[in-house]
Amino acid sequence: MANDFISLGEIIIRLKEKRDEQNLSYDDINRLIEKNGDYPLSKSTLSRVFKEGSEDERFDYEDTIRPLAKALLDIENIEETDTEDVKTLKYLLKLKMQRINELEAELAKAENKYHRKIDKEREQFQRSLDFLKEQVAYKDKRMDLLLNAVKEKDTMHNKLLEHILSCPYRGCKQEKEDED
C-alpha cells in the first residue's frame, strides 16, 4: 500500500461537487448521515467544510469527513456509472476506512490487554493490602493482650502493696526495731 491515502482536499472537492449536483441543504446532508448510522454534524461544521477554500483547511477525518464521504459519495458501492476518478476515490476511501477499522480493532485489543494487566496488578495490590491489614489486626490483638497483662500486673502489684502496707505485723516489727 504505497500511497493508498488521498488528500482531504480532494475528498472535500468531491463532496462540494456532489452537494452542488444534488442541491443538498445541510439538513438534507444530516439526514443522509443519520441514515448511514452516523451522528449528524453541526451546521457550523458543515458550513466550514463547504465554504470556499475549505479544501486547504484541516479537518478531523474520522469525525467530520468520513461521515460526509459515506453519506454523499456512497463509498460503500462502486457503480459502473461512476467515472474513473470517482471509482478511484471510492476505492481509496474504502481502503482508508478498512485501515481505520483495523487500527481500531488493534487499539481495542491493546486496551483489553492493558486493562487485564491493570486488573491483575490491582488484585495483587489488594491481596497485599489485605495481608497487611491482617498483620495490623494481629499486632493490635497482641498489644491488647500485653496491655491487659500489664494492667493485671499493676492491679496485682497495687493489691500486694496495699496488703503489705496494711499488715498489722509490719507496724509491730518497726516498733521493736526502734526500741532496740
Per residue in 20-50, pLDDT (tens digit) is 888 989 898 889 888 878 888 889 888 888 8
What is the mean predicted confidence (pLDDT) over 114-135? Answer: 95
Please check whether residue 131 lies inside any domain of the structure: no
Q: Are 64 and 41 in contact (CB under 8 A)?
A: yes
Where does the pLDDT of residue 1 fall: very low under 50, low under 70, confident under 90, or very high at 90 and above? very low
At residue 151, the pLDDT reads: 95
Is 156 among the domain residues?
no
Q: How much is the mean pLDDT over the chain?
A: 82
In a domain, 2, yes or no: no
Residue 83's domain spans which residues?
8-109
Return the higher-pLDDT residue of 59 and 23: 23
Establish if 132 belongs to a structural domain: no
Place of cell 459502473: 80
What total of structural domains would you count in the chain?
1
Characterise 24 by phi-psi region: left (phi > 0), alpha (psi -120 to 50), beta (else): beta
For residue 124, the one-letter residue type is: Q
Confidence of residue 168 (pLDDT cuts 50, 70, 90): confident
Check pLDDT > 80 for residue 8.
Answer: no
What's the predicted TM-score (pTM) here? 0.44
Instruction: Please give the average per-residue pLDDT across 157-170, as a whole number.
Output: 82
Contact 32, 71 (CB under 8 A): yes
- Cα–Cα distance for residue pair 145/128, rounded to 1 Å: 26
- The answer as to whether 146 is a domain residue is no
Would residue 97 count as lying in a domain? yes
Which residue do the cell numbers 499493676 mark?
A: 154
Q: Is residue 178 part of a domain?
A: no
Q: Where is pLDDT greater, at 170 or 86?
A: 86
